[in-house]
Chain A
Amino acid sequence: MRKINAEKIREAVARLAIEANLILRKDVLRALKRAYSKERSRRAKKVLKALVENAAIASSEGIPICQDTGIATVFLDIGQDVAITGGDLNKAVNKGIAEGYKRGFLRKSVVSDPLSRVNTRDNTPAVIHTKIVPGGKIKITVAPKGFGSENKSVTGMFKPTDGADKIGRFILEAVKKAGPDACPPYIVGVGIGGTLDKACILAKEALLRPIDKRNPRHHIAGLERALLKKINGLNIGPMGLGGRATCLGLNIEVYPTHIAGLPVCVSISCHATRSAAVTL
């Protein structure tokens, strides 16, 4: 049994919260630069250039990429041979978030109750997804997501006979509805299968995969490519002012499901899709 102190987890979460918000993911930055070089529209090119510059200013000056530093979603993959010592795991994660958001001058955007809406002033609690996996390590991923794009995410419960075409249209429709509002060019995470709740978590997990890496299942990879192409034909473009770059990447994760159903969740994410991870 390997022992990991809760303090180590707190420290890692604090550091990851800052890193994720200040340093744009390499795969996303690469895609922005590629979109810039491929773009034909003068205005779209100008916006993409500003976005690349934005990422450079954020990392060199220590200013968040976006003012919406999100509600933090924390994924914990905990090896079953690990014993966490020296404190409560969820408390350690939330202490890490509070510390990171303070130390990194990140915005505190969380309210304690969805209806009475009083700001918790330290951006806690995080939304924590814990998974028990084989081995003796803990992988921690902090993924802050802004709500401009979260508000445009959708779920649908399809018939088992609906198939890929209907799902494809649903995904395309979700991006059209987001239109210029949720900071295009987008990154789209899709979860297909499981149950309603499982599909939503899959969609979020899909956003964590590097956007230049396709799903290992051949037919899913094909669907990712086809949908990305279709979305980029919508001419929404950066700021919604037209252009080729409407979507930088589309990742799909799947899971076995029931004979009677086909749950789908589409997580719309902005061009500043953020995450940072470490393995302890």
Chain B
Amino acid sequence: MELPLRPEIVQSLKAGDEVLLNGYVYTARDQTHLRLIKDIGKKKLPFDLHGQTIYYTGPTPAPRGKKIGSCGPTTSGRMDAFTPALLKAGIKGMIGKGRRSEEVRQAIKRHKAVYFLAIAGAGAYLSKKIAEAKPVLYKDLGAEAVYRLKVRDFPVVVGIDSKGRSIYK
């Protein structure tokens, strides 16, 4: 499945579907979300959030000869408070692990977006599915900087679909 996700593709996905993602995603976690929320609409960002997919992760530094280190998902629930605003700003996909709040589920439905689950705790395994990694924003945050990652056959499961159906009861 190609990234950025086309609207008709997003809307065809159902909670529980297993998908392989190909293309670019942007990493963002706690402090990054805090900054993005402040900067959206005020500062010019080096990339357009519209239609993009965000991956909740903070990778380990790339060892010599590698594109990236370990790069698995972090707990999505910590980003819940910021997610409705980011969806409003145009993001269409999120990749993380674990449950989301009711507000986030509603916002996903409202904006016809999608929440994917990646294999939790499989950072080394998932690093093999990343072909490129480049820090593009908030580089001072170290592991929390925004990286642009090129993913190749990156395995995910649809956690919450565009109709608001969740894989977790």
A: residues with CB less than 8 A from B are 43, 47, 50-51, 53-55, 57-58, 61-69, 105-109, 117, 119, 121, 148, 151, 179-184, 239-241, 270-272
Contacts and interface: CB of A to CB of B under 8 A. Distances in A.
Contacts of A182: 75, 98
B123 interface: yes
Given A64-B70, A108-B142, 7 more contacts: A57-B127, A67-B59, A119-B142, A180-B120, A240-B98, A241-B117, A270-B120
B75 A181 contact: yes
Given A58-B70, A148-B75, A179-B168, A51 B119 contact: yes
B107 interface: no
A156 B141 CA distance: 35
B75 A47 contact: no
A183 B123 CA distance: 12
30 contacts: A50-B122, A50-B155, A51-B122, A54-B121, A54-B122, A58-B124, A62-B63, A63-B123, A63-B124, A64-B60, A66-B123, A67-B58, A67-B70, A67-B74, A68-B58, A68-B74, A105-B63, A108-B142, A108-B143, A117-B31, A121-B142, A179-B98, A179-B99, A180-B120, A182-B98, A183-B97, A183-B120, A183-B121, A239-B97, A240-B168
B147 to A, nearest CB: 12
Interface string B58-69: 111111001001
A239 B122 CA distance: 11
Contacts of B77: 181
Contacts of B123: 54, 63-68
B133 interface: no
Contacts of B28: none
Nearest to A151: B75
Contacts of B58: 67-68, 107, 109
Interface in B115-148: 117, 119-125, 127-128, 141-143
A92 B87 CA distance: 47
Q: Which of B74, B77, B125, B157 has the most CB of A within 10 A?
A: B125
A239 B118 CA distance: 8
Interface in B20-64: 31, 57-63
B99 A66 contact: no
B168 to A, nearest CB: 6
Contact of A107 (B61, B75, B98, B99): B61
Contacts of B117: 239, 241
Nearest to A146: B121
B93 interface: no
A265 B86 CA distance: 37
Contact of B119 (A179, A181, A239): A239
Contacts of A271: 121
B24 to A, nearest CB: 19
A61 B142 CA distance: 23
B27 to A, nearest CB: 10
Nearest to B57: A67
Contacts of A151: 75
B72 interface: yes
Interface in B70-103: 70-72, 74-75, 77, 97-99
Nearest to B128: A57
Given A106-B60, A109-B58, A181-B77, A57 B125 contact: yes
A55 B121 CA distance: 10
